[in-house]
């Protein structure tokens, strides 16, 4: 057996290192707790690091870098993300690859910067005007913090879209002993080689509905990038069928390719009638809760969602096998619960919710017991 190589690290470091190994080459940062470790590591590790004067500039600079062929990254928390939203819409419409690491903390507003939370899923889900799906992956374990950043970057590059990589304070600031030797190798993101098709139309989709990317740095083809409603030429149009078709394609390209980026852990127990669903920081408590619950001779399954948005149909297939579903998440009203199952109360779906403190395993066990 290989000798263990135990190191003591926080997950911000894993995320940063993974992104760089995957080929992200630009980090634009604006300080905000609890994303500051990512900023600090980004400064040390990314080939190109820029300190932006604000988060709108952050996203604009990232977009500029993306237009020139780079793969940019930033890390922020809700107040910064809120400022970025119009620019995220722009990057989505322009079809620019980038990863936004969103570290959740207690809101609303400035809230408590030093307290973790899972309160931003609705914001991410509602980022795009028109309800278009913005991909969001969520890290739940140490190995996720190593492997998912690469996958987020791959998805961003493949689908030419911003991808939100969701985490929270406790996840990225807690130090853990980890076996460095057991970490999977991070493969560099492969970007599709440009295949010359004449005439070049900047927004003509390939078979997977993603247009081929050409940077503005080359001088063979004229590139037109725009955030206004446009057709395949990249020229602003009113609501012509061609332009509306192009805008609708933005949603279709994400959904069509989503299977390739579907990540979850499903710990199914034969005979269980209750499914516990969770994501992010609450996963750790859920794993402990399920273990203890099962040790007491009872049955429940656990689904940890990593590809959170758009919600993949596979999750509903899994849910169909259960009489009762409990969703545990560190927010007041159940953001994932409402995104998945709507606003109406349902006897079949309930939540374990809390703010200001991590959900405890005991609280999840109690919810499981309430539904026996």
Partner 1 sequence: MSNIFINDQGLPFCKGCGHSTIANNTEKALAKLGLKPLDVILVTDIGCHGIIDKSFNTHTVHGLHGRSVALGAGISAGITNPDKKVIVFIGDGGATIGMQHIIDAAHNGYNMTVVIHNNMLYGMTGGQPSEYTPMGFKTPTKQAGSTKFSYDICKIVAAAGGTYVRRVMGIGDFSDALSEAFGRPGFSLVEVMEICPSYGVKSNPEMKLSKVVENAGLATEVIADLPAKHYVTDRREALPSLFSPSDVIPAQAGTRLQAETSTHGELRIMMCGSAGEGVQVAAELLARAGIRAGLQVTKKGSYPVTVGVGFSAAEVILSPEAINYTGTVTPDYMIITSRDGLDFGKKAAGRMKSGKIYLDESLESPVTGAEIIRFPFREKTGARNASFMGVFYFLHDTNLLPVEVMVNSFNENKISKKVSADQFLQLLSA
Angle at CA 91, nearest 5°, toward 89 and 97?
135
Residues facing residue 29 across a β-bridge: 51
Q: Which is nearer to partner 1, 79 or 310 (CB)?
A: 79
Contact at 8 Å (CB) between 43 and 62?
A: no
Q: Does 70 bind partner 1 (CB under 8 A)?
A: yes
Q: Which is nearer to partner 1, 223 or 251 (CB)?
A: 223
Q: Which is nearer to partner 1, 178 or 339 (CB)?
A: 178
The stretch near partner 1 (CB under 8 A) out of 73-81, 127-135, 190-198, 225-233 is 225-233
Query: How far is CA 316 from its chain centroid?
Result: 19
Q: Which is nearer to partner 1, 301 or 341 (CB)?
A: 301
Q: Does 50 bind partner 1 (CB under 8 A)?
A: yes
The stretch near partner 1 (CB under 8 A) out of 126-134, 213-221, 261-269, 311-319 is 213-221
Contact at 8 Å (CB) between 178 and 9?
A: yes
DSSP category for residue 185: P
The contact pattern for partner 1, residues 301-340, with x = CB under 8 A and - = no contact, is ----------------------------------------
Per DSSP, the residues of 307-368 read: EEESPPHHHHHHHTT-SEEEEEESSSS-HHHHHHH-SS-BTTEEEEE-SSSPPPHHHHHHHH
Pick from 22, 24, 26, 85 the residue near partner 1 by CB under 8 A. Answer: 26
The stretch near partner 1 (CB under 8 A) out of 99-107, 233-241, 316-324, 333-341 is 233-241
CB of 296 vs partner 1, minimal distance in Å: 13
From the list 228, 217, 205, the residue with the least C-alpha distance to 159 is: 205
Q: Give the up-direction half-sphere exposure of residue 242: CA atoms within 13 A in the CB hemisphere.
A: 11
Pick from 82, 216, 251, 311 the residue near partner 1 by CB under 8 A. Answer: 216
Q: Mention every residue, 6+ apart, whose C-beta is less than 8 A from residue 282.
A: 118, 328, 329, 330, 352, 358, 359
Q: Does 146 bind partner 1 (CB under 8 A)?
A: no
Match 């926080």 to its residue by tokens: 10
Q: Does 83 bind partner 1 (CB under 8 A)?
A: no
The stretch near partner 1 (CB under 8 A) out of 128-136, 175-183, 205-213, 319-327 is 175-183
Pick from 129, 177, 187, 240 the residue near partner 1 by CB under 8 A. Answer: 177
CB of 347 vs partner 1, minimal distance in Å: 29
Largest CA distance in the chain: 68
**Window 258 to 287, contacts with partner 1 (CB under 8 A):** 283-285, 287
Q: Which is nearer to partner 1, 230 or 312 (CB)?
A: 230
Question: How many residues of this chain bind partner 1 (CB under 8 A)?
Answer: 75
**Window 337 to 366, contacts with partner 1 (CB under 8 A):** 357-361
Q: Does 160 bind partner 1 (CB under 8 A)?
A: no
**Window 114 to 133, contacts with partner 1 (CB under 8 A):** 114
Q: Does 239 bind partner 1 (CB under 8 A)?
A: no
Rounded Cα gap, residues 150 and 23, in angstroms: 8
Rounded Cα gap, residues 77 and 118, in angstroms: 11
Pick from 27, 30, 39, 41 the residue near partner 1 by CB under 8 A. Answer: 41
Q: Does 56 bind partner 1 (CB under 8 A)?
A: yes
The stretch near partner 1 (CB under 8 A) out of 37-45, 74-82, 257-265, 306-314 is 37-45
Rounded Cα gap, residues 185 and 146, in angstroms: 9
Q: For the CA atoms of the chain, what is the radius of gyration?
A: 21
Rounded Cα gap, residues 144 and 134, in angstroms: 20
């Amino acid at each position: 057996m290989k000798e263990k190589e135990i190191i003591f690290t926080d997950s911000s470091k894993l995320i940063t290192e993974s992104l760089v190994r995957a080929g992200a080459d630009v980090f634009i940062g604006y300080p905000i707790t609890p994303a500051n470790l990512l900023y600090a590591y980004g400064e040390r590790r990314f080939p190109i690091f820029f300190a932006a004067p604000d988060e709108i500039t952050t996203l604009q600079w990232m977009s500029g870098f993306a237009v020139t062929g780079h793969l940019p990254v930033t890390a922020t928390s809700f107040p910064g993300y809120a400022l970025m939203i119009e620019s995220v819409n722009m990057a989505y419409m322009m079809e620019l690859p980038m990863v936004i690491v969103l570290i959740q903390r207690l809101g609303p507003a400035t809230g408590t910067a030093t307290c973790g939370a899972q309160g931003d899923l609705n914001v991410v889900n509602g980022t795009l005007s028109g309800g278009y799906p913005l991909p969001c992956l969520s890290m739940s374990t140490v190995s996720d913090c190593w492997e998912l950043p690469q996958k987020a970057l791959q998805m961003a590059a493949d689908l030419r879209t911003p991808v939100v990589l969701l985490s929270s304070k406790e996840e990225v600031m807690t130090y853990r002993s980890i076996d460095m030797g057991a970490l999977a190798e991070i493969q560099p993101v492969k970007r599709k080689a440009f295949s010359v098709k004449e005439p070049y139309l900047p927004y003509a989709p390939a078979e997977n509905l993603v247009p081929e990317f050409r940077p503005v740095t080359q001088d063979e083809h004229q590139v037109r990038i725009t955030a206004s409603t446009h057709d395949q030429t990249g020229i602003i149009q009113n609501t012509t069928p061609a332009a509306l078709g192009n805008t609708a394609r933005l949603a279709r390209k994400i959904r069509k390719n989503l299977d390739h980026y579907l990540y979850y852990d499903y710990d199914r127990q034969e005979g269980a009638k209750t499914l516990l669903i969770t994501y992010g920081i609450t996963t750790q408590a859920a794993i402990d809760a399920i273990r203890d619950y099962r040790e007491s001779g009872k049955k429940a399954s656990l689904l940890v969602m990593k590809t959170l948005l758009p919600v993949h149909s596979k999750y509903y297939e899994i849910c169909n096998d259960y009489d009762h579903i409990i969703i545990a998440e560190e927010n007041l009203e159940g953001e994932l619960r409402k995104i998945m199952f709507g606003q109406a109360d349902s006897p079949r779906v309930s939540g374990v919710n809390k703010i200001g403190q991590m959900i405890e395993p005991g609280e999840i066990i109690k919810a499981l017991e309430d539904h026996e």
